[in-house]
Amino acid sequence: MGRRSGDAQGTGGRSLSSKDQPDDLRPATRLVGAGRRAEWTGTPGEPGAVVNPPVWRASTHLYPDAAALHAGKPNADGHFYYGRRGAPTQWALADALTALEPGAAGTVLYPSGVAAIAGALLAVLRPGDVLLMSDNAYEPTRNMARGLLRDMGIETRWFDPQDPAAFAAAACERCKAVLLESPGSLTLEVQDVPALAALARERGIAVVLDNTWAGPLAFPALERGADIAVMSLTKHVGGHSDLMMGSAAAGERLYQKLRKTAQALGQVVSPDDAALALRGLRTMGVRLERETATALALAQWLADRAEVAHVLCPMLPGSPGHELWQRDFTGGCGLFSLVFTGKDGTARDAFIDALGLFGIGYSWGGFESLVSPVDPASVRSATPWPLPGMAAGDRFGVRLSIGLEDPADLRADLERGLAAWRAA
């Protein structure tokens, strides 16, 4: 867990205290320097100073004497107490993520993105409460609502992600939180987060936003009205498909609730995984730029193919939600979906199996391209699938996560997949 303070933070190669830190540093510069406090890396120019915080592996933190133990602050950020409360490697990652999220007082780390969603919801909901959930939410989030939360006596109501009026109609006095996901990670609907947040604020409803697709570089969630910004760090931050982690950032009041709940649940991430996430964070900006450019080019090409009925990509002009994306976002990522023209799941699977450069598997945001089937009908509650405007037969599709391969090679691979779809 980590929060902003007046302690020194690294900026590039030298350390600056917060009072000396320029306020106008751009995101790329913050990605390089955030979380690199001199107290964790050493003072530049002095023996032992390093670029990255070392990996601190310890379950037990030792005190010099009993008096020091009694004088300790066991629930203070950045304070050695016990391994479950973290050490400099975890603190540096949380500190860096906080620095990237305008308006955040602190960030809590979790062992997965799903754990981060659970931690955020459990921090603001109690038995008898009602949770409103966008109907394009991540399937494990929906399962949490139907399982864990229901068993706790928390009711969930789903609403059309693109209809603020539907949200307002579903709200009631017992509603204490709303879970948004914009764009949705499967069907990619963009929500009017500022408008929904304003409606929620009028009713005293906490807004929890799964902001994994865009992250704070492209969508500063708290500035746009969210109360808690959740990310799966497994995706873009890790960037190399070798760690599981999540995060939740909030302003002062809800940050304290997040950390208290996380500590009560015994949530902790390993220092080794925190170090991997810090490493991925430093290159996240350039990876996102490359993946976004390639994804948009491929989305435009696929939109003109006869085999493809719909490309679900908010960055694509003409795609549903594109105007909201233009208004509220400053970037994108490599994740989008497509729906084939008619046929069935057998033809869709033939497309997947014919691909050579796309790994078949879940997750996204890594350096490698991935493909997985899209069958949203089974995970919709308030809105049908296919969506209005789609033909009844245009049901089966795939989700593509675009990596760092050469765009021309990926296009040729997709061409092979489309040929197999036609032949099926």
Q: Is-contact 134 184, C-beta < 8 A?
A: yes
Q: Is 19 labeled as catalytic in the residue annotation?
A: no
CB-based burial, 341-374: b 16+ in 10 Å, e otherwise: bebeeebbbbbbebbebbbeeebbbbeebbbbeb
d(CA 11, CA 404): 27
The active-site residue, picked from 30, 77, 138, 282, is 138
Q: Is 138 labeled as catalytic in the residue annotation?
A: yes
Q: Any idea which residue has 């989008």 for tokens?
A: 336
The active-site residue, picked from 235, 259, 282, 343, is 235
By 3-state DSSP, what share of the chain in percent is helix, strand and coil, each rounded to 5? 40, 15, 45
Q: Is 110 labeled as catalytic in the residue annotation?
A: no
- Name 412's Cβ contacts closer than 8 Å, sequence gap at least 6: none
Q: Count H helices and E strands in the chain, helices first.
A: 15, 15
The active-site residue, picked from 135, 210, 227, 328, is 210
Name the token pair of 170. Answer: 């579903």
d(CA 291, CA 400): 11
Q: Is 73 labeled as catalytic in the residue annotation?
A: no
The active-site residue, picked from 14, 57, 73, 84, is 84
Name the token pair of 57. Answer: 């592996």
Query: Which residues does the annotation mark as catalytic?
Result: 84, 138, 210, 235
